[in-house]
Amino acid sequence: MSGISYSTLVTQIRNYTEVDANVFTTDVLESFILNAQQRIMMDLPMDSDRFVDQGTMATDVNNVRVPAGALFIRGIEVFNATNSTEQGTWLEKRDQTFLSEFVGRLTGPEGSTTSGADVTGKPKYYAMFGGATGLSDTTSGGIYIAPTPDANYIYRIYFNKMPDTLEASNQTNYISLNFPQGLLYACLVEAYGFLKGPTDMLTLYEQKYKTELQKFAAMQIGRRRRDDYTDGTIRIPIESPPQ
C-alpha cells in the first residue's frame, strides 16, 4: 500500500466497517483520524517531527520559552553571546528542584552560605516547567535555566514538534504518506471501539496496528539512526546444518 489521502482514508474506514455516512459522519471520522494520529505520535516519535529553534537569552532572566507546538525537548545547546558558529555547550537536564537549590545558594565569605542569592553565569542546567505545548510560544510554561544568564547567550533548542494533522483541509501528511497501513488500522481500532464491537474485529486490528508499528519503528528509530560505516552492517545469524 502506498500513501493515502484523507479522503481515501475516510472511504476505507467506511468500507472496512461497512458503516455508512449516517453513522460515521464527517465529525465522527475526523475524531477517529485525530485520535489515531495522536496515538501513533505518542507511540513512536518520528524523525519528521524533529526541529531546531534558535534564540537569544535575556540577561538576568532565568527562563526561555518553549518553541511553538513542542511535544518534548531533546536537547539544548548554548553558545557565547555573539557567535553561534563556535562549538556549543550542551546543558544538562535536571529536575526543577535541583535548579532551585542551585541558584538559591551562593558561597559567601569564608565558605559560608547565604540563602536567596542568585547564581549568574553561563547556563549549565535546564528543567521544564508548566505545560508549554501550545501552537504558539507561550509564557504559561517553558524552560528553567541555571545559572541565570549573565549575558545574552545564543541558544538552540532541539525538540519534537506536533505534526500537521490529517484532515479535510490537509489531505496528506507524513504519517499518511509513510505509514498508511498503521494509520488505517489505528483508525479501525477507534471505529470498532465506537461501534462497541465485534470484539474479534477490534482485537484483529489492534494486533495489525501493533505489527505495523514494530516495522515502522525498526525504520524510524533503527535504520534511520544508524549507518554501515559507524555501526557496521546488520548481520542475521543463520544456523548451519550439523556436519
Q: Does the model's pTM come out above 0.85? A: no
β-pair partners for 70: 161
What per-residue confidence (pLDDT) applies to 131?
61
Classify residue 221 as exposed, middle or buried by CB count within 10 Å of its CB (0-12, 13-18, 19+). Answer: middle
Distance CA 153, CA 146 (A): 13
Q: Which carries the bigger pLDDT value, residue 138 or residue 188? A: 188
Please report which confidence band the pLDDT of residue 133 belongs to, taking 50, 70 and 90 as the band edges. Answer: low
pLDDT digits (tens, 9 = 90+) for 35-86: 999 999 889 888 888 999 999 999 988 889 888 888 889 999 999 877 666 7
Helices (H), ranges, 105-233: 174-178, 180-195, 199-220, 228-231
- Distance, in Å, from the CA atom of 53 to the CA atom of 158, rounded to the nearest integer, reads 7
More confident residue, 70 or 14: 14
For the cut 80, the answer to whether the pLDDT of residue 118 exceeds it is no
CA nearest to 18, candidates 192, 202, 212: 192
Q: What is the DSSP letter of 167?
A: B
